[in-house]
A and B are shown apart, each in its own frame.
Chain A
């Protein structure tokens, strides 16, 4: 049973560009959350999707947007990249009534130059 799959694993972009990161949740999970983790810091919540809608959002600008597809997979889009967007982007899947059953992927390492 595959866990959470994220792609790509590494990415290098130039300031001002746009990027799309992808996440496939663990089988049986219907909720996807995205986190940003800067070097040496804990993960910070970006937003959460279930039933194909954004349900919760952390303190991130509108440059960060997302989407969830009918098969529960999700994309994170970041526009007008800044150097400060360089981080590890983590996807976590879960399901309602799942208690503490959050499963994280290994992340996408984004470097903005």
Chain B
């Protein structure tokens, strides 16, 4: 799986938009980009997945440039409850739920009042 690089930590305030960028220079043609969220003492939770351009759901948006060597997770108007660790995963995860997920160390987002 392609190696990913993301900031160790980020700070924000309630109501702001937060953008977390992940670098994946060696992404392969078949690779998808997936983001997970993890709260303390809980398992990771799927947030969003994309292959190219932009994907949006009720929780977040994912922006992927044409070269796909990076991606940006955008969280609109964060609240205190968005304080968590966010993981960027890259791999051929389409169309099967039987791939081993490779997590990095993630980005610790701290949202202040």
Give A29-77 interface residues, CB cut-off 8 Å to B: 29, 31, 33, 35, 40-45, 48, 50, 55-56, 58
Q: Please judge, given known A-B contacts A44-B103, A100-B49, whether A106 and B98 are in contact too, CB under 8 Å.
A: no
Contact residues in A for B87 (Cβ distance below 8 Å) = 42
- Complex interface bits, B92-109 against A, C-beta within 8 A gives 1, otherwise 0: 011111101111111000
Judge if A1 is at the interface, Cβ distance under 8 Å.
no
Give A65-99 interface residues, CB cut-off 8 Å to B: 88, 90-92, 94-99
In the bound complex, do residue B102 and residue A98 qualify as a contact, i.e. CB atoms below 8 Å apart?
no
Interface residues on chain B, size class: 20 to 34
| Alpha-carbon separation in the docked complex, A58 to B89 (Å) | 16
Judge if A16 is at the interface, Cβ distance under 8 Å.
no
How many interface contacts (CB-CB < 8 Å) are there between A and B?
75
Give the interface SS of chain B, mostly helix, strand, loop or mixed: loop
In the bound complex, do residue A43 and residue B101 qualify as a contact, i.e. CB atoms below 8 Å apart?
yes
Judge if A21 is at the interface, Cβ distance under 8 Å.
no
State which of A44, A90, A96, A105 has its C-beta within 8 Å of the C-beta of B97.
A96
Interface residues of B (CB under 8 A from A): 32, 34, 41-46, 49, 87, 93-98, 100-106
Interface residues of A (CB under 8 A from B): 4, 29, 31, 33, 35, 40-45, 48, 50, 55-56, 58, 88, 90-92, 94-102, 104-107, 109
A–B complex contacts, Cβ < 8 Å, 25 sampled: A31-B98, A33-B100, A35-B101, A40-B105, A42-B87, A42-B103, A42-B104, A42-B106, A43-B101, A44-B103, A45-B100, A55-B98, A88-B41, A90-B44, A94-B97, A95-B97, A97-B95, A98-B96, A99-B96, A101-B46, A102-B97, A102-B101, A104-B43, A107-B42, A109-B41
